[in-house]
């Protein structure tokens, strides 16, 4: 199968490209012009702005994919408040660019449109877990722009018959994640302290009592690959574990893996006002339609993430 992945140079995109290649698929990556060298081998890289339907259509004509995965977009909730227009432009504009290019060039090609559990916004704790029919009440520019992309995919399915499968991914973590996010941020600081031979490191964190539904990124991309083969374009899916853990439990899991003493200090500046205290979803439909189950234990995720940052910090120090 020939698969085209947008955003294949990003966190989940790199893992998905590698997973699809391991499955024997021919993998093509659509990335921003200039980002082609960041695409992992053996994927073939193609430069185009996802918001430019004509540019995306040209890539479709050249690649003629059997399946498309749309992952490209802004990924930070926090940054979206500072950069709302840019967030809307790439998250909604990019989705529309891909959908419109497919409508023109390959209307029968299935596309997996990946959005986010954040599109459901604030959900009363008593109404958890989130289901596919939980109302969309996003509170951030990131969540709102992803909700709009989800609605756009549903509209292209209803109006044009485009086989657009929607999946709302909850938090995913693992090797290769940007340090703007809490787990890689902590892992990077620990790895740096180890590299410098420090006996201890104090890591500043925000609200560690917030609970979220965390999935290893490698389990997450397995879900995407299964949906490419078995997903229903007339349904939406939640990709998540079905349970939440506190951020405190996540980051404190790194402590026994560290080669230096780690302590945490609360930083009020890192807290987000009005943050949802707990959020987790139900993967029941995903399991029923694809057979997917998360397989990677949290301890493995934490160990692999810290090891990845040890390697990255060592690379940063090489002359």
pLDDT number for residue 176: 97
Residue 45 belongs to some domain of the structure: yes
Say if residue 109 is in the same domain as residue 252.
no
pLDDT, tens digit, 9 for 90 and up, residues 6-43: 999 999 999 999 999 999 999 999 999 999 998 988 99
**Are 132 and 195 in the same domain?**
no
| pLDDT in the model for residue 206 | 79
Give me the DSSP letters along the chain.
-EEEEETTTSHHHHHHHHHHHHTT-EEEEEE-TT-GGGSPTTSEEEE--TT-HHHHHHHHHHH--SEEEE--S---HHHHHH-HHHHHHHHHHHHHHHHHHHHHH-TTS-EEEEEEGGGG----GGGPSB-TTS-----SHHHHHHHHHHHHHHHHHHHH---EEEEEE--EE-TT--TTSHHHHHHHHHHHHHHTT-SEEEEEES-TT-EE--EEHHHHHHHHHHHHHH--TT-EEEES-S--EEHHHHHHTTGGG-SSEEEEEE-GGG--TT--SEE-B--HHHHHHH-----S-HHHHHHHHHHHHHHHHHHHH--
Question: What CATH number did the domain enclosing 90 receive?
Answer: 3.40.50.720
Give the CATH number for residue 268: 3.90.25.10
Domain that holds residue 303: 182-212+245-276+296-317
Q: Same domain, yes or no, for 158 and 28? A: yes
Going residue by residue through the chain (319 aa), what tens digit of pLDDT does each one get?
999 999 999 999 999 999 999 999 999 999 999 999 989 889 999 999 999 999 999 999 999 999 999 999 999 998 999 999 999 999 999 999 999 999 999 999 999 999 999 999 999 999 999 999 999 999 999 999 999 999 999 999 999 999 999 999 999 999 999 999 999 999 999 999 999 999 999 998 878 899 999 999 999 999 999 999 999 999 999 999 999 999 999 999 999 999 999 999 877 655 566 678 999 999 999 999 999 999 999 999 999 999 999 999 999 888 7
Same-domain status, 223 and 207: no
In a domain, 35, yes or no: yes
Judgement on whether residues 71 and 129 belong to the same structural domain of the protein: yes
Residues 260 and 218 in one domain: no
Is residue 284 included in any domain, yes or no?
no
**Is 290 among the domain residues?**
no
pTM: 0.95
| Percent of the chain topping pLDDT 70 | 97
Does residue 198 sit in the same domain as residue 231?
Answer: no
Q: Are residues 301 and 234 in the same domain?
A: no
pLDDT computed for residue 269 by the predictor? 59
127, 189: one domain: no
The total number of structural domains in the chain stands at 2
Condensed to tens digits (0 to 9), the pLDDT of residues 213-225 reads 999 999 999 999 9
* Domain presence at residue 283: no
Identify whether 157 is part of a domain: yes
Q: Are residues 36 and 108 in the same domain?
A: yes
């Amino acid at each position: 199968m020939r698969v085209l992945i947008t955003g294949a140079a990003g966190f989940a995109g790199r893992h998905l490209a590698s997973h699809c290649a391991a499955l024997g698929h021919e993998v093509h990556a659509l990335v921003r012009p200039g980002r082609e060298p960041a695409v992992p081998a053996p994927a073939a890289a193609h430069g185009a702005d996802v918001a430019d339907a004509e540019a995306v259509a040209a890539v479709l004509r050249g690649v003629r994919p059997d399946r498309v995965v749309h992952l490209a977009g802004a990924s930070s909730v926090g940054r979206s408040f500072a950069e709302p227009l840019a967030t809307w432009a790439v998250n909604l504009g990019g989705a529309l660019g891909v959908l419109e290019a497919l409508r023109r060039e390959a209307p029968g090609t299935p596309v997996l449109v990946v959005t986010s559990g954040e599109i459901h916004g604030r959900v009363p704790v008593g109404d958890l877990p989130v289901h596919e029919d939980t109302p969309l009440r996003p509170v951030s520019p990131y969540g709102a722009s992803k909700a709009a992309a989800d609605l756009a995919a549903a509209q292209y399915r209803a109006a044009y018959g485009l086989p657009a499968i929607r999946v709302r991914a909850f938090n995913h973590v693992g090797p290769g994640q940007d340090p703007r996010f809490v787990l890689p941020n902590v892992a990077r600081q620990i790895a740096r302290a180890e590299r410098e031979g420090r006996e201890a490191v104090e890591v500043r964190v925000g609200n560690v009592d917030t609970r979220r539904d965390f999935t290893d990124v490698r389990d997450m991309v397995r879900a995407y690959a299964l949906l490419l083969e078995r997903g229903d374009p007339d349904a939406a899916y939640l990709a998540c574990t079905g349970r939440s853990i506190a951020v405190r439990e996540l980051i404190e899991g790194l402590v026994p893996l560290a080669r230096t003493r780690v302590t945490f200090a609360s930083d009020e500046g890192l807290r987000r006002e009005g943050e949802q205290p707990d959020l987790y979803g139900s993967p029941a439909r995903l399991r029923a339609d694809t057979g997917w189950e998360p397989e990677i234990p949290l301890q493995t995720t934490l160990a692999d993430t810290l090891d990845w940052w040890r390697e990255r910090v060592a690379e940063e120090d090489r002359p």
